[in-house]
Structure 1
Amino acid sequence: MKQILNAFGFISVFIVYFTVQVVAQDVCVKKTPCSCEFPNGTGIDLSPIVAIEKSTFYTTQSFESKDKDAVYELSTYYYHPCVDVKPNVNSTSENDTCGVPLSICRHVNTMKLVNVTAGTYVKDSGTFNFLGQSNVSDFSADGRSIIYPNGPSSTVVMLVCSESANELHVLSLEEPNRIVLSFYSPYACMKQLEQPGRSLGSTLLIIFFSCVIFYLVLGICTKKFLMGATGIEVIPNLGFWSDLPHLVKDGWAFTINGFKLPARGPGPVTTPDPNSYDSI
């Protein structure tokens, strides 16, 4: 019997913990490759961009010195939110990986110094590098960025609320395996996507506390009017609730011990208490 009460106490604590965790969870859940929504109905939706410009890639460039002014890299980034589109890549290089529908691509040109006196550089044809697709992308918990995984690396597009037209910029190249771009757009602003409704956590809490209130009211009325209890004795199952902390503690100890009874200590063998673990 006591083992059952222990299990009941453990389950009660777990239910309360679960409901609290569900209520505390407040993340922007991905709805589509370019939209996410919070439990209160607010979120970000970039889908109107596709309706305006279906196949246009937004571009930005970065210029980096690689070898003490002897070698430079010119990188051009192409970004298309929401839908994977095959870019118009005119290249025959075997190292190019942008010949498939994608969301992010980079074209890297290398410029090498060939005449120091004249300051003459020669630029190669460059290579195209695949950086991410929308069908495997995910939003950050705060909804402020979209993460595009690509093997061991990833590309992050920060969404910046702006009143100006859609623009792409390079934000950070400090980590080569985690390039960070910023996309400025009026559609990157947080807005109300759906009317807020009752969340799962709120529903669970309402059900839980309704059951608790019903249990207390029914138990108090039964003990007071049918059993004549007074004072604190009107609380239903008072002995159980008083002993609940010890039951939960014993339940945890029983679980940690691999659901085994504790080892019997030294001493004379006596008849076990009918309410002890040894009697089960």
Structure 2
Amino acid sequence: MQLKTVFRNCVVFYLISVVMTDDINTDICAYPKHNPGTDLPPAVKRALGVLTKLTGTRFVDKDDKGEYEYKIGICTKADDDAMDNVGVVQVKVKDKHKHRIGFYNDSHLTGGTDWISLEYRGGENYGTHCTHENKKAIIMIVCDPNDSEGHGKVVEENNQKTDECYYLFEYSHSAVCTEVPSFQLLQGLSAGSVIIIIFISLMALYCIVGLLYQRFVRGAKGMEQIPNYAFWQDFGNLQADGCDLVCRSGQRFSSRAYKGIGDDQLGDDEQDIDDHLLPM
């Protein structure tokens, strides 16, 4: 009896696992045109890695005229009402008529440093143009370091060609951005920025070390804890003196030059000096 119960539980667990696995596998992109026997380029490998972070994302937007609404899913159904594997749906706003633009189980993927191009193919046929070919959607996923939630928009419908027509969408997200190593960030700084960083670091070190020294070694309290407090008190006067020396152009007072005594001041008549000695 116990063996039957264990066997029954194992069968139920197996069936649940199969159903869950099937549900998970339906929400991934398939790339039938990619040759599974060849090694993928590094850019495509990176694009696949980034795409796993965005799988299941959806966004909705309208065209410029407001005639059509587009529902887009990244490696998932465009909405809950869409057919299986339909990644992009076009809805006419007036009568709510829907068109299937592309299927995510018929995808093509390319990528670069900070962008991914995800293409859904196999949509409905065009009616009167583009030689009645199947519609397709191209989703350009681009880097935006300030956008961690992701935002999408409709760019254009290019149907003025004889073939290779497409619907173009753009989706921005920070997950697409390439992580820049810290040493490369330092290499991108200018000389002035490096000097400012060094100066600020030295000033911070001077203040911290000086304050600790004044506080715990010399036992200073209050404003006296500031290193070189007397110098900083007089710092404003020093600036004023320097400004007065360099910038002001007014006349300055100077000591008078020595002026010699003239002969007319020394030429007193000696007779006049001795007149009081003569008898009356």
TM-score norm. by structure 2 comes to 0.38
Q: Normalized per residue, which structure has more strand? A: 1
The one of the two structures with greater contact order (alpha-carbon pairs below 8 A, sep at least 6) is: 1
Which structure has the larger Rg? 2
Q: Normalized per residue, which structure has more helix? A: 2
